[in-house]
Chains A and B, each alone.
Chain A
Amino acid sequence: MKAPARATRRIPSQTKKRIRAHSTFIYRAHKEVNPAGMRSLDLMASRLSFPKPVLLRLVSLEASRLSKTNRLKVVTLQEINAAVTLVQRRIAMKAAVLIQRWYRRYIARLEMRRRYTWNIFQSIEYAGEQDQLQLSSFFSFMLNNFTQLNGNGPESYTGPRLTFPLSVSDTNALLSAFKEQQSLHARYVLQLLYETKKLLKQMPNIIHLSTSYTKDITICGDLHGRLDDLLLIFYKNGLPSAETPYVFNGDFVDRGKKSIEVVMLLFAYLLLYPDNMHLNRGNHEDHIMNLRYGFTKEVMQKYKTHGREILQLFQDVFSLLPVATVIDGKVLIVHGGISDQTDLDFLSTIERHKVKSALRFPRRTLEQLDIGQSSRQMKRMISTDGSRPSSSRSHSKNQRTPNQRKRRCRISRQDSAVSISPSSSSSSSSSSSLCSPRTPSCLTPRPCPSSPSMTYTINVLHVPFLDSLTSVPPPSSPQHDQEWKQIVDILWSDPKTQEGCSPNTFRGGGCYFGPDITQRLLLQHGLQLLIRSHECKQEGYELCHGGQVITIFSASNYYEEGSNRGAYIKLGRDLVPRFYQYQVSRTTRKLTLTQRVRAAEGSALRALKEKLFTHRSELMSGFQQYDQNNTGSVSVSEWAQVLESVLRLDLPWRTLRPHLARLAADGSVEYQSCFENMEPGIPLSQVTPNLAETLFRYRTDIEIIFNIIDKDHSGLISIEEFRQTWRLFSAHLGVDIDDRAIDDLARSIDFNKDGSIDFT
């Protein structure tokens, strides 16, 4: 304590002695006079393990200081009391400071955990471990070859019935139906989509709005299939109407469980109020993204009979969505962002519907690789395949099993459009959700540690099912390249604080654009504000680039319950944005920060563990390289190294280690412990580990595919069908599984041994 220390120095010992003697006398006397005061002193002494004499001295010093002003050369009772109170107060203050400091640290730790959790979610979200493209072609093949019965489904449909042109009663019917968890009959879905397609065809690429005829315009960001958030927005802000115009800035589908309902509502209102409802395309309005992120699965599950048709229509409708909205010629709204090459005038002239997906192969790429004629392609493919040293780049093994080495060349037609596998052996494929747009970095000759005969480092995918290459557009003209890039930039870019424009390596598409890029574009077109979405923000919105860029995100609890708020903007004639936040909550009690962080952390760690499990064989071989003596453990650094190189996720592995793996007594990591507690849910004791992993990794897609096969929607498929499909699937993936393994697998899944597999 500062006061006594100082005082001790100054007071001469004589005085001290006198004071001490005096105050002890007073103390004793005081005990009778004011027991309470002295009791509290005793209490303090006992609690704080302050030796009583020390406390006493503090008190007496205080008292003496106080008594300096009184005439009597004696310390009075009052002063003693006052001193006691003062000392008490000081101690209390010290206690308070301690608590404050402690608490602040606790919160800081929580915040750190929250950050890590967020990082985990983001890394996993964008880690494209699947070869979307290849799956999409397989998928199309399946769709075309396993034709569904075109039944009408059960006649007893109690959901909403729509009549076109739509009226308010239709949209209200939809709202209440969806609130009651009903679904819309496929017939109406299709009709709605047809009508929407017709309407969108007439719209320009960039919609121009004005605030002079309307009240405030409400701008919402990503919804990602969160019906609750959409309903909450409508509740707080009002339904779309002439008085309440809306702009929805893309990403209506994927991830959330109610993408269909969300998008049906949005389209319905679009048809109802075409002048007051505006939808921008987002990067998830893309059928290949939908394969990975859940929309396709949702459609196939909810609409087994008509799923294919519906998905096809969605593909068209999505590509017809406008890409940008401009308000009063001053505020630009796009889903992702801009690049240094964004040219709004050019953008408004292109044929936007031609860009069906961000995933495609610019012609430039093929030329770079000197793939001209098909025959030469075929020859190259064969030679590459044979000589592909899949072990040379040890750290960049694809997220496929080692069996890939044995993948055979399937060339059924000479003029096959050779699609270039995005999941090339280049190391960055796993951290992007699409890879081929990154052509410069993916395919320029990287220093390949393998033999010099390898002129390119990519794997060439063979697509046997050529009739159905609906999802893979052929390489096209340079003009088309330009157009494609404009749109991809608009849908995929992210702002950053540094100046300049660089390729967005995190996502694999679009750019990172700096404040100078924003400034330039805004000036160039006479704009003053850029509103975009695309990134989840904790508060639902965020400003950057000196307030010139606003990110608005409308899916609350995106990663996990309590992870973030959602928000929307209202813009009036003054063009000053006003932000409204909300959070959908399932619990009635407000979760504390601790609970929220814990929940989110739990989720993130589970997802991370799953990832570890799906890469088990690669990880194990990585670990074993460091553990030649088979001790079962490696050092923490080595452990982190292996994880980093196999999973390609930029995460603080050392810090996460306690949640993922056990330490041995000597401080090394027992790497086998990474894979404990992971049950894929399918008892696969009989099958090889690789198969289990593959199944687990692709389980979403497998579900979709099974849904297609299941002709009578019984939830069962026959073993034969399973076998066939699995064979195709594994061939497509290049996973070599022998028939017996498949049979075993089939049998093991067939629990009730009745010859059919219940895949639910």
Chain B
Amino acid sequence: MAESKPSAEAMVSDVHKKIKAAFEAFDYETNNTVDVREIGTIIYSLGCFPSQTDLHDFIAEVEEDHTGYIHLDKFLPAMAKILLEHKYPPIPEDILLQAFEVLDKEKKGYLEPEELANYMTQEGELFTQEEMDEMLTALADHEKDLIYYKDILSQLTIDPEL
């Protein structure tokens, strides 16, 4: 994104604008509130990589007393802090490759859908079946029904600025 002035103040205001834009995309009522369930999406799209626990903690901090909504007034400062402190830094691409290689024990260069599914739905921060299905549709090579992780890595990491 354009940082035409290097001053800290300008950077902060830029950050604020970014947060606002992301927030407004989910503010259906245009009243500066979003549904709490969309917060994860918003935070991710701003470039952060919180874990599920991090997310829960964050939500607990900014939610409006269990109404299920989060107001921009609380979200903006908290999110700005996270961005400026780089609190949930992104995962470097090579680490991601290694992660895939770890799962690919036989070093085949690809993963079978069941293999991946097993890991994703039973280990770590579990995927729901829906997420798993979507992932397989998105990432698997359609003819061979295998996941060539090296190729999809670019898809997962190269983000247009949007």
Residues of A at the B interface (CB closer than 8 Å) are: 40, 43-44, 47-49, 91-109, 111-113, 115-116, 119, 496-498, 589-590, 592-594, 601, 635-636, 652, 654-659, 663, 666-669
Contact = CB atoms under 8 A, between A and B. Distances in A.
Contact of A98 (B18, B44, B96, B135): B96
Contacts of B146: none
B21 A652 contact: yes
Interface string B16-34: 0110011011101101000
Contacts of B120: 96, 99-100
A655 B98 CA distance: 32
Closest 4 CB pairs of A and B: A108-B44, A97-B124, A95-B99, A667-B4
Interface of B: 1-4, 17-18, 21-22, 24-26, 28-29, 31, 40-45, 49, 51, 91, 95-96, 98-103, 105, 107, 119-120, 123-127, 131, 134-135, 137-138, 142, 155-157, 159-162
B102 A44 contact: yes
Given A119-B25, A658-B162, A102 B98 contact: no
Contacts of B4: 635-636, 666-668
A667 B156 contact: no
A663 B161 CA distance: 13
A97 B51 contact: yes
A112 B41 contact: yes
B102 A91 contact: yes
Nearest to A116: B25
Nearest to A635: B4
20 contacts: A47-B101, A91-B102, A92-B102, A99-B100, A100-B127, A103-B156, A105-B45, A109-B44, A109-B45, A112-B22, A112-B25, A112-B162, A115-B25, A589-B142, A652-B25, A658-B161, A659-B162, A663-B2, A668-B2, A668-B4
B123 A93 contact: yes
Contacts, number: 143
Contacts of A601: 162
Given A116-B25, A498-B29, A47 B162 contact: no
A99 B96 contact: yes
Contacts of A659: 160, 162
Given A100-B120, A593-B138, A106 B45 contact: no
Contacts of B31: 498
A98 B99 contact: yes
A289 to B, nearest CB: 24
A669 B2 contact: yes
Contacts of B100: 95, 99
B49 A102 contact: yes
A592 B152 CA distance: 13
Contacts of B45: 105, 108-109, 111-112
Contacts of B156: 102-103, 106
Contacts of A48: 98, 102
B49 A594 contact: no
A589 B142 CA distance: 10
Q: Is the interface of B mostly helix, strand, loop or mixed?
A: helix
Nearest to B31: A498
A593 B137 contact: yes
Q: Which of A97, A101, A107 has most chain B Cβ within 10 Å?
A: A101
Given A95-B100, A656-B162, A667 B134 contact: no
Contacts of A635: 2, 4
Q: Which of A92, A95, A496 has most chain B Cβ within 10 Å?
A: A95
A592 B137 contact: yes
A189 to B, nearest CB: 41
B18 to A, nearest CB: 8
A265 B154 CA distance: 49
A100 B138 CA distance: 14
Given A92-B119, A112-B42, A663-B2, 20 more contacts: A40-B105, A47-B102, A48-B102, A95-B103, A97-B51, A97-B123, A97-B124, A98-B99, A102-B49, A107-B134, A108-B42, A108-B43, A111-B41, A112-B25, A112-B45, A593-B138, A594-B138, A667-B3, A668-B2, A669-B2
Given A109-B162, A112-B162, A658-B162, A100 B142 contact: no
A446 B142 CA distance: 60
A527 B37 CA distance: 32
Contacts of A654: 1, 17-18, 21
B46 to A, nearest CB: 9
Contacts of B99: 94-96, 98-99
Contacts of B157: 102
A412 to B, nearest CB: 45
Contact of B124 (A93, A496, A590): A93
A688 B156 CA distance: 46
B125 A109 contact: no
Nearest to A98: B99
Nearest to A118: B25
Contacts of A113: 162
A108 B119 contact: no
A101 B51 contact: yes
A105 B91 CA distance: 11
B124 A109 contact: no
B24 A101 contact: no
A115 B26 contact: yes
Nearest to B156: A106
B29 A97 contact: no
Nearest to B119: A96
Contacts of A590: 137
B89 to A, nearest CB: 11
Nearest to A605: B162
Contacts of A109: 44-45, 159, 162
Nearest to A652: B21
A96 B119 CA distance: 6
Nearest to B50: A101
A97 B102 CA distance: 12
Contact of A101 (B17, B49, B103, B137): B49
A92 B123 contact: yes
Contacts of B107: 43
Nearest to B125: A100
